Structure formats: structure tokens, C-alpha cells
Amino acid sequence: MEIRERILVAAAAVFAEVGFRGATTRRIAMEAGVNEVTLFRHFGSKDRLLGEAIQAANSRPSGSPLPERPTNPRKELVAWAREQMIRLRVNRNLIRTCMAEVAERPEIVERPGGQTTIAATQLRSYLTQLKKHGFTTARFDPATAAPMLLGALFADAMGRDVMPDMYPNDPDAAIRTYVDLFLRGIGVARPAKRRTKEPV
Amino acid sequence: MEIRERILVAAAAVFAEVGFRGATTRRIAMEAGVNEVTLFRHFGSKDRLLGEAIQAANSRPSGSPLPERPTNPRKELVAWAREQMIRLRVNRNLIRTCMAEVAERPEIVERPGGQTTIAATQLRSYLTQLKKHGFTTARFDPATAAPMLLGALFADAMGRDVMPDMYPNDPDAAIRTYVDLFLRGIGVARPAKRRTKEPV
DNA sequence: AACGAGAGCAAGTACCTACTTGCTTGCAGC
DNA sequence: GCTGCAAGCAAGTAGGTACTTGCTCTCGTT
């Protein structure tokens, strides 16, 4: 790995753990295994370094999208939700720190919602397709329903470790519960699976 | 207001905005309108001051509980969710900052979930009563379903300002959407209202 | 071998922070 | 009026931080 890349990764990791002020250049240098002055040779200032590091960390590719044509809503949504949850958990500290610091430093700390907005768009489209292909006839707006499932996943990922009493079941069981409740909430019943198989 | 109280309120406000390190004793003193040395005369150290301030701020009374006996689930849940949302929004910065900093400073920064755990317990009981009184015959576990609604509310309160693209409707409409989807998800249909009225 | 680039090392600068110390002032109670 | 208490003010201490500067070393290229 190139030194510059190593510095960026170290800076994002330290920031995620101890925030902007706690991410001293000394600490970042140690984490990256370089001399402190090297940070300034590559990036000029702490602001620039952390701005780039946070942006790079928030740009990691998201997982597989939902299929354009739904065939098995529960299976597809559970699989997708699992990937979203992994992404959220892996980035939990970074997301939490960005949320806490974005108001104070909008030019440096990127809004943490980029990937989540992409997920919301995907889910919205998927829900629209569910309606279009007759998996549900219930009345709901995909755009306003999507935040329900995403919100539950987000809160679980961000809060489970600090609010353990609120989450009595294990993480994967929780995902299945959220998806099941959500699908029923939007009128997609379990037997929907049989309905798609019959025309075949 | 007494000086000591003024200091605690100021300390919590500054912490919520700029975190532990950013909450310099100079800044807290200015916010409280006292001399910096007064902080130390009352609290001895910055750690002690912020520990007490955060605890006091996190101990604000929560809103009205859900009724022990459900009569109108939608109405009752919407009203309750509104109150939860107000609480979460008022404390948004504090909660976000506590979540970001609790891992680094567990003795000082209180886990932010006290009131939320109380809410989860209330909702759990309420859902149990819904089942008991026949508002739903669907299969779901109140303990694992509660985090779905609470999570959506929590994520909305914590994330709406930093992830506006994810929330297309206004906050109150969103609350009603979450409650509607949730009730349907646990098998409480809208007509449940008529069912409770007929015996009268 | 010579040169240039990049990184390490050490020392230093200017500023910031939690906290201390000595003194002064204002107010309440006797 | 006198005393004690609480708070303000100013100066200071010891440690920390982003950043700079001057020098040295290593490695790759010509």
C-alpha cells in the first residue's frame, strides 16, 4: 500500500474513533506508521487530510442492489437488508462521529448519508415494482415507506451496542423481523410467494 | 436560577454541540455567564462537571406513557410517537454526541438510551395488551417488534437534518406513516377501530 | 558514482487548555 | 462596623497541539 493511501486509511480510522479534535496529527502518524511531518508533506494541513480521508471512507462501494424485477420479496429484501446492515455496522463509528460533528464542520466532515440515500432510492424503486407487479394492492407511498425499514436498520446498527436492552434478539433475527413486519405493513403477505409461482 | 444549575445547563449545551474536547472550560464559563474559576470551585474538574451535566440532561422526564388498556391503537400510538419524537428531537444533538463519545469515555458520557429503553418497555407492554384484547391475531413478538417502530422514529429524529433526501415527507406525516405501516405489520387493521366501537 | 526525491528525526514556534493561586469585591448576617 | 462566604479578575503553570525548519539517510534513476 502506498504511503499516501496508508495515511488516509489511518486518518479515517482515528477520526471515527475519537473525532476531529481527538485525531491529533501525532496519533494519525503513529497509526499510519509514518513520521508526523510526512502528513504535512502530503496533505498540507490537518483539515485537508481529514477532509479527504472522510470522503474516501464514505465512498466505499455499497453492496448489491435490489433486483429490478421482484420475484421473491422476502428473500430479496432479507438478503439486501443483510448487506445494508453489514455496511452500516462496518462504518458504525465513522457514521456516528460524522453525525455528531457535521454541524460544526460542514466543509470537512461529509454528511454521512450518501450510501444510505442510494439505498433509499433502491428500496423506493423496488417497492414501486412490487406494486406494479401485483405483489400488493395496499395503499402506500414507496417514497415515504422506505424510511421505515431503512430507519429500523439504521437505528439497529447505530444503537444496538449502546442500547442493548432495546434489542432482545440477535442481529440477524432482528433483520428478518424488520423485513417481515415491513412486508406485512405494505400489504405483501407471505403467501405472495405462492402467487408468483402459480402462473409458471 | 442558581449558579450551579446554570453551569450544568451550559455545560450540557456546549457538550451537545462540540463534544467533550470542544467543551473547553472557558467556553462553558462564558455560556453560563460565570468566571472560569467558578467551574472548578463548584465541580473540581472538567470530568466531574461534564459527567454531572450529561447525567442531568439525560434524566429529563419522558412524556406520557401509553395507556394500559388499548382502546384506539392508531390514535394512541400516533400521540405517543409524537411525544417520543419531540423528546428525541429536543435532545438530538446531545444524543448524537453521546453516541459518538460513549465508547471513548464510558464513565463520563452516559449511555444515551435510558429514556429510549423506557419507551421500548412501554411499547412492548402496549403491544402485549393489543394481543390480549384481540386487536390482532397475527403472530409477532412484542419485544422484537417494538424496536421496529422505535428505530424508525429514532433514525428520523437523528438523521433527518443530515440525510434530507431520505425523508421526502414532513415530520408529522412521517410519524403517521410509520405508525400505520407498523400497525398493519403487526396485524392491527384500520377497521380495528370499528370493532371496538360496536360493543358499545 | 552522482543526483534527486521522499521519508525520518529532532528541535522548535506559537497557540491552546485544564487548572491553580493570590487578590479584590460585594453581600449577608451578626 | 466587622466577619465570613462566594464570586470575579488576572496572572501563571504544566502539558498538549498543528505545524515548521534544518539536517540526514535511503533508494531509484541516469
* Residues B86 and B152 both lie in one domain: yes
In chain B, which residues have their Cβ closer than 8 Å to the Cβ of A17? 103-104
A121 vs A192 pLDDT, higher one: A121
Q: What is the mean pLDDT of chain B?
A: 90
Residue A34 scores a pLDDT above 90: yes
| pLDDT number for residue B113 | 67
Query: Is A54 a member of any domain?
Result: yes
Q: What CATH number did the domain enclosing A141 receive? A: 1.10.357
Instruction: Name the residue with cell 456546549.
Output: B14
B 106-145 residues with CB < 8 A to A: 111-113, 116-117, 120, 138, 140-141, 143-145
Out of A1-10, A27-36, A188-197, B162-171, the most confident range is A27-36
Query: Is B29 a member of any domain?
Result: yes
* Residues A107 and A13 both lie in one domain: no
| pLDDT number for residue A190 | 66
* Residues B49 and B15 both lie in one domain: yes
* Residues A97 and A141 both lie in one domain: yes
Cβ <8 Å between A181 and B140: yes
Query: How many domains would you assign to chain B?
Result: 2
Query: Is A21 a member of any domain?
Result: yes
Query: Is A63 a member of any domain?
Result: no
* Residues A43 and A77 both lie in one domain: no
Cβ <8 Å between B111 and A162: yes
> Which pLDDT tens digit goes with each residue over B166-190?
999 999 999 999 999 999 999 987 6
Cβ-7 Å neighbors of strand C: A 3-4, 33-35, 37-38, 41-42; B 21, 23-26, 36-37, 40, 44-47
* Residues A84 and A165 both lie in one domain: yes
3-state SS assignment for residue A35: coil
Cell of B53: 451535566
Out of A127-141, A180-194, B98-112, B140-154, the most confident range is B140-154
Nucleotide of closest approach to B36 (CA, C1'): D8
Cβ <8 Å between B166 and A159: no
Cβ <8 Å between B153 and A151: yes
Taking alpha carbons only, the member of B53, B55, B60 closest to residue B12 is B53
Query: Is A66 a member of any domain?
Result: no
* Residues A87 and A47 both lie in one domain: no
Residue of B nearest to A185 (CA): B185
CA dist list (Å): A119 to A124, B12, B116? 8, 35, 26
**Domain of A130, in residue numbers:** 73-197
Residue B196 scores a pLDDT above 80: no
* Residues A106 and A161 both lie in one domain: yes
CA separation for the pair B10, B4 (Å, rounded): 10
* Residues A34 and A125 both lie in one domain: no
Residue range A93-102: mean pLDDT, rounded: 94
Quickly state the pLDDT bin for A69 (edges 50, 70, 90). very high
Query: Is A68 a member of any domain?
Result: no
Kindly give, in sequence order, each residue whose CB lies less than 8 Å from that of residue B59, ignoring residues fewer than 6 positions away: B114
Query: Is B66 a member of any domain?
Result: no
* Residues B167 and B125 both lie in one domain: yes
CA dist list (Å): A74 to A39, A77, A101, B114, B160? 48, 5, 36, 33, 27
Q: Is B51 on the interface with A (CB under 8 A)?
A: no
Quickly state the pLDDT bin for B193 (edges 50, 70, 90). very low
Query: Is B63 a member of any domain?
Result: no
Decide which of B14, B34, B58 is a domain's last residue: B58
Residue A200 scores a pLDDT above 70: no
* Residues A173 and A122 both lie in one domain: yes
Q: What CATH number did the domain enclosing B26 receive? A: 1.10.10.60
> Which pLDDT tens digit goes with each residue over B26-38?
999 999 999 999 9
Give the least confident one: A38-52, B97-111, B182-196: B182-196
> Which pLDDT tens digit goes with each residue over A138-153?
889 999 999 999 999 9
Q: Is B19 on the interface with A (CB under 8 A)?
A: yes
Residue range A105-131: mean pLDDT, rounded: 87
A 66-95 residues with CB < 8 A to B: 93
Kindly report the nearest CA distance between residue A104 and chain B, in angstroms.
Answer: 7
Burial label, B44 (beta-carbon count in 10 A; 0-12, 13-18, 19+): exposed
Burial label, B134 (beta-carbon count in 10 A; 0-12, 13-18, 19+): exposed
Q: Are A155 and B95 in contact (CB under 8 A)?
A: no
CA separation for the pair B159, B191 (Å, rounded): 33
* Residues A94 and A148 both lie in one domain: yes
CA separation for the pair B152, A185 (Å, rounded): 14
